[in-house]
Every structure is written in C-alpha cells, then in structure tokens.
Structure 1
C-alpha cells in the first residue's frame, strides 16, 4: 500500500518535472522569430550600403587577421572561462556563412542564434546589434554574400573546457540581459541625436568596451536610461574611459567638434587614440561620414556625468618637482621631450599628460600598459603616423615605471594617485609590446 502511494506521488511529481524540462529544452534550442522570410536580391547599391554598415559595426576588427583573407576569422579572444576564436563570416558555404539565408543571418547578428538553434557566445556583441534596423541588416547580409570573397578557412574551436562550453545556458543569459528589439526613435529628441544614439548603442557597440559589466559579464546598462552606460570599464589590460560628460575622466571638456576630430583623425588637443581604440579608429571611425560623426558627438555630449564618481573638476597647476623626487628624473629624461616639462604635450601630435584621462582616473591600467608596451601606429587617411609612444618595458623596471607614473599622476593638478610596482609587474606578465606595424584590415 505504501509502495503504491509512493509510486503515485512520484508519478505526479515527475510529470511537472518532465514538462519543465521539455519547456527548457524548447526555450534553449528554439530559433527566434525574424522579420525576414527569404533572401532578398542584392544590387550594387545595397552591397555598398552594407559595406558602410560593416564599417560602422567594425566587423573587420574581430573577424579578420593581418595577412589573412578578410573576415575569415581566427582572432583569439581571452575570456575568464577560456579562449574563443572569431569565426569565418565570409560566404564560404562549408566554413563560413554562405549557406545562411537572410533570416539565418538576422538571427545570428541580432539575437546571437546560429542555424539549428546553437547559441553564440556574447563576445559577439549581439546585445548591441539587436538594435540594428531591418534595412541595415538586409544591407549587411548583401555585403557579406556579394561583396566579400569566400575563404575556405576552417574555424578554430574554443578552449573552454566541458561543461563550461555548453551553449544552452546562454539562452537563459540572453533572456535576462539581451534585448530583442531594434532601436526605436525617441520623439522628444531631434534626428541628429537619434542617429547618434542608434550608432553608439547599435552598430558602434561602444558599450562593449566603455560600459562596466556585472557579475554575469553583462553590460550594466545598454542605453542612456542607465547611469553606468558608457561610464568607463576595465577591459583586456586597458581602461576604456567614460564617454559621458565627466569633467575629469570623460568628455566633459571636449566640444562636439573635438569629438568629431578625434574620431576622424585619431587625435585632438586632448588626446591621441591608443589601446584597442587604435584598431577601431584605423578600421572603423575614420571611415564614417561627417554627418554620422556629428550625430555621435551630439549624442555623447547629451550624456550627463557623475560628479560623485568623477571628483572635483581638474584645473591645471604648474608643478616644480623637488630635486630627487621619485619619478621626476625619469620623467625629465624619458618623457619631457614629447609630453613637455609642463605636461602640456606638443600641439595635437604629442598628447598632454596634464589633465589626461589616464592621469586622472583611479584605474591606472591604461597608464601602465602604454608605458610598458607603447602604442600601435595610427593610420589616418592611408598615411601612417610618424609618432608613436615607445615601449619602456626593456628600459625601465617595475619600480621606475611606478615612480614616473605616480609623479605624472600627481603633477599639474592631476589626481589619479600613486601606482604600485606590483601592479606594473602584473601587467608586464600578461601583456605584450604593441606592434610597430599598422594593422589595417581590408574589407574586400
């Protein structure tokens, strides 16, 4: 009798468990809806438009390698779980996306779901690309199908170990953190602001680097409605600074024209591109239209800063280093010829350290990284820059780098704070010198 009652109870309990398991299996393997039912015909104008959308989206930066066919994949990306590699997105039918329909392509780009329901790792910025318009997705598809040569380059498997490499939990992550709707125009804003918001939030995926992430590696905000959006974040040994109106660590002292100049030429009176932004400039932002750059600037200038996070506004103060002050001699002999004894740099060619974000931010990763490893070469309008920051990892010890950075981060009104030799040593151990060869990746 007791056994019979137990069996009936177990049966009733098993039923909802089976239903729940079935629903979970359906949810994590389903192919989301898409507005596209068939592949559109692609004309030359649509392919050309798609090439521009690919520039806006900087697809080439992750999916191409120097010396390899464009968009053939292979770039290694480190994650806390292991390394993954960017995939082949040429029209090759075996290794690339040549067999994708427009609907397949849309699901992969905007929702992170490959054919068959396989979830893509969110290193692919589909939480941002979700905001792409239908027209831009259609144009992007036309470009990859008709404007990019197929490359029979096999994809490299990830090194994430089992069971962490199982993809189905990503569907749950998507349900929590990934939007599924395209950008909607804000009727209370003008067309220029809306265009800038669309590019920054969508194809430009600026938040992928400049927005801090939560415990689940999700961006803490995806648009201007959240205060963490574009508020600055650590990424791959660099600190991507705030793009909000923070006076010290953001764009508060930049005009709209100076933002446009920076994105178009790679420099202005405040800064020169460095770190991962160099590749974004070399292969993306300099190719954007003037109207789109102006739209980006308009939108970014509308994002308020946070004085509580940013601190008291920086003001220049002349600094006379005391004889024998730690770091002062190293600065005078190694740095002053370019950045100036007064920290003001040399016009737009040698950036100032007085008031520089890397000298004011509490995060010191960028200051350490560029001093250790130097900067990549900027290529503006096809012309490589004659000036680049040299690497000092072979010339200066951890202590010397810590001292010279501590000096610069406390001189001329800077308030970034001291740098410890231990922090320099840690970055020295897992970073490499910047390449002296410009990395210009071809789109075709």
Structure 2
C-alpha cells in the first residue's frame, strides 16, 4: 500500500498527461502583434488554470484534440476536439460562439452540450478572460483534424433538447461579481474556485438531475465532498477531520503547488489537477485560492470528535505476530512505507494517521487507490519517486476490506469499517475493460 492515501480526492474526472501545447508562435497568424501574443499567453495560463487539457486531451493523443471517454450516469460520452481545425474542431467559431459554448453549454450549431462540460462553473468567467481563452485556442494551439466521436448513450436518452430545460432549471448565468465586504484576495480566490477552477464539479454533491447542489458558499453543500466515478472527492470546507480544518494556509498552498503535504498527497484524478493545472498557478493566485477555501465554514464530516493522534492501541496490534487479519496485511504490505506509527514519511509517503481521506465517511477512494494505485505526480517535470501501486492482483476483497478497516480504526482515526462487498463492487466497476 505504498503512498496510499494520496490525498485531497478526485477533482476533475480523469487523469491525463501534462498539458502540452504548441509554442506560442506555432499557430499564430503572420503579422500578429505583441499585444495579440500577450493575450495568447494570458489565455494559455487561463487554460491551465481551467485544466482544459485534462478532459480534451486523450492519453497519447494530440493536445486538445478530444477523444477521451468519460462515464456519465446515462452512458459513455467522448470529449470533443477544441483545436482550431475548421472541419473537426472549433476553427469556425467566432468569439461569441466560443463564449456561448463555454458559459451556456451550447455549440455553434445550436446543440446542447452535456453538463459533463462544467459550463455551470464557466458561466462565471468574465469577458476579458473569455477573450484571452479564445485567443489562445485560436492562435496558440495547433489545429488537429480529428473527427468527434458519437456518444454511447442510447436513444432516447441521447436526445439533447431536454438539456434546454436542465439549463433553465440549473444554469445561473452571469459572470462572477465581487462580494462586498471581502478583500481582493478572497474575491479572486472565489472567482477561481467557482469559475475556471470548477472545483465544485467534483467536490460538491449532485442532485437527482445530476446538478451541483450548490454553486458557491451560500449553499451548505458547496465543496462538502462527493462520490464521482469511483472516487470520493474530498471535503474542502473547514471540517476538522475530513476537511481542511487542520490544514494551515501554508499546508494548502504547498498541496496545490506540489500535490503533497504533511497531511496527505494527491491521488486519482487530483493527480491530473496538480500535474496539469495548480502547480502552474502564480503564487498570488495560489494564495487567493487558499484564502477563499480556508474561509469556508465546516460542513459534513462523520460526526466524530476532533481528531487527535494516539499510537498506543495500534502499536500493540502490530506486535509480531500481528494479532488481527487487517494488521497482518498491513505488516506485510503497508508498514514499510506508512510506518508502524501510521505517519508515513511526508511528503514523499503519505500519512494514514489523521489523513482526511481515511477519516471520511465514504471509503471509496481508499478502496479504489488500494485496488488500482495511482499515477505519478510530476512536479516541474520530475515524477514522484514512490507512486502508490495497485493491489488488485495481490489481495482479495476480504484482505483489502480487513486492512482498510484496520487503517480506519488505527491511530485513533475512528472511521467506519470497510466491508468485502464494498471492495468487490468497486473492483468490478474499476477493473472492467482493463
């Protein structure tokens, strides 16, 4: 279980390669001036902030050419080509067309986009940033001729026109407006988190119509954690155990820039967010995001008392020979990386004692990362030395349930046990097609 609990849950929906883009002048028309180049470069930064590559670049595919499969409650869809190719991409889009697709979820030909595209968040992007993004995608990205693929959703669920009514019910139009009484950093952080960062797309629970239960801090469910595609995207509120309540501002800024801190390290889709997006943010923007998130009041959690570390009972259970089934698995497979004391070797190897993902009510992320491992964090071009391997081929459902129950009870974590049936269900859903 090396580096298990790679921390603040699954934020976008899929892990992908680093953002790759053509050099700034590669697709820029002859005669483009310095002002245009500055706009393209600003758009490139905003595209990283929005993590556009994560969904629009398929593994081993060309940048922004689409083709990535995404699972939805109705079936699988395939992300579209957003390069400036005139036939298969968005080369024929005007800036108004681009803005409408980005903020309202309506393509140039009038068909509605599925809300897997986070346009309810992008609706908050201001006009200046839309202009810069348009400049980047038209003049800073190489055109790729690659036809879009139809979804696997069957008729009648594949009809798009009902999405007009979904938008009427759930889409809140209008760019973000600064909140009075809040300082510049807080408002900038709110704009980034709610808008291009689209953190709520993964970290906010969904309603029966797949709508986010809240789009900003005025809703109590906002960023309180959510299950998505086999991962539980973590609570980002000030909740003490499973949220950010014990994280300092420095802890959070370190996590956003490197994917690891003394509490946890990134796993699942959050690895892609760190690799493609947040590590590239300016220090000022990272500080703004941290200021906003750290202002959110505590919501959710498992109702337990505030976590305090206690190694004693776990130390006894790990005495050789380990005296229960979970402890035996931990001793054989996990202890060398995560330690007898459960504190790991942060930030290289994640702690399990007090880790927010261990303390969460939903154990999906723990099961998933134990079964399937996680991809490398790549910071400044250097892969992490100790990625979490998968144990699906090594441990059976009961063994994984036993060791995760041991971890969730150990070191005073006090989280609910994991059942073998839960492991079997996730094994089946995540191993399909591998």
TM-score above 0.5, yes or no:
yes
- Bigger drift between 321-330 and 290-299 goes to 321-330
Q: CA deviation at 1:307?
A: 6.7
Q: How does 1:85-104 map to 2 (within 5 A)?
A: 85-104=78-97
In the alignment, the residues of structure 2 paired with residue 234 and residue 57 of structure 1 have an alpha-carbon distance, to the nearest angstrom, of 21
Q: Deviations for 1:98-147, whole angstroms, at most 9, x for unmatched residues?
A: 00000000000011111232111100000000000100000000000000
In the alignment, the residues of structure 2 paired with residue 93 and residue 321 of structure 1 have an alpha-carbon distance, to the nearest angstrom, of 67
Q: Find the residue that maps to 2:71 and give its secondary structure.
A: strand
Q: CA RMSD in A?
A: 1.5
Q: How does 1:323-362 map to 2 (within 5 A)?
A: 323-362=322-361
TM-score normalised by structure 2 residue count: 0.89
Does structure 2 retain, via aligned residues, the 8 Å contact 1:129–1:205?
yes
Residue 66 of structure 1: aligned partner? 59
Q: Find the residue that maps to 1:117 and give its secondary structure.
A: coil
Q: How does 1:372-383 map to 2 (within 5 A)?
A: 372-383=371-382
Residue 210 of structure 1: aligned partner? 203
Does structure 1 retain, via aligned residues, the 8 Å contact 2:239–2:245?
yes
- Decide which structure has the larger Cα Rg and report it: 1
In the alignment, the residues of structure 1 paired with residue 385 and residue 301 of structure 2 have an alpha-carbon distance, to the nearest angstrom, of 39
Where does the alignment leave 5 or more consecutive residues of structure 1 unmatched?
1-39, 436-444
Kindly indicate whether residue 231 of structure 2 is the aligned counterpart of residue 232 of structure 1.
no
Q: Find the residue that maps to 1:84 and give its secondary structure.
A: strand
In the alignment, the residues of structure 2 paired with residue 214 and residue 307 of structure 1 have an alpha-carbon distance, to the nearest angstrom, of 16
In the alignment, the residues of structure 1 paired with residue 346 and residue 355 of structure 2 have an alpha-carbon distance, to the nearest angstrom, of 14
Does structure 1 retain, via aligned residues, the 8 Å contact 2:257–2:278?
yes
Where does the alignment leave 5 or more consecutive residues of structure 2 unmatched?
1-31
- Bigger drift between 59-68 and 287-296 goes to 59-68
TM-score normalised by structure 1 residue count: 0.87
Residue 78 of structure 1: aligned partner? 71
Q: CA deviation at 1:358?
A: 2.1
Q: Find the residue that maps to 2:410 and give its secondary structure.
A: coil
In the alignment, the residues of structure 1 paired with residue 300 and residue 119 of structure 2 have an alpha-carbon distance, to the nearest angstrom, of 32
Residue 159 of structure 2: aligned partner? 166
Q: CA deviation at 1:321?
A: 4.0
Does structure 1 retain, via aligned residues, the 8 Å contact 2:192–2:289?
yes
Q: Which has the higher contact order (CA 8 A, sep 6+)?
A: 2
Residue 315 of structure 2: aligned partner? 320
Q: Deviations for 1:341-361, whole angstroms, at most 9, x for unmatched residues?
A: 010111311111001122111
How many pairs were matched up? 395
Does structure 2 retain, via aligned residues, the 8 Å contact 1:272–1:351?
yes
Kindly indicate whether residue 174 of structure 2 is the aligned counterpart of residue 148 of structure 1.
no
Residue 106 of structure 2: aligned partner? 113
In the alignment, the residues of structure 2 paired with residue 381 and residue 230 of structure 1 have an alpha-carbon distance, to the nearest angstrom, of 28
Q: How does 1:132-147 map to 2 (within 5 A)?
A: 132-147=125-140
Which stretches of structure 1, 4 residues or more, deviate above 2 A after TM superposition? 306-311, 319-324
Which of the numbers 269, 280, 285 marks the counterpart of 2:262? 269
Q: Deviations for 1:179-236, whole angstroms, at most 9, x for unmatched residues?
A: 1100000121000000000000000000000000000000000000001000000011
In the alignment, the residues of structure 1 paired with residue 43 and residue 431 of structure 2 have an alpha-carbon distance, to the nearest angstrom, of 35
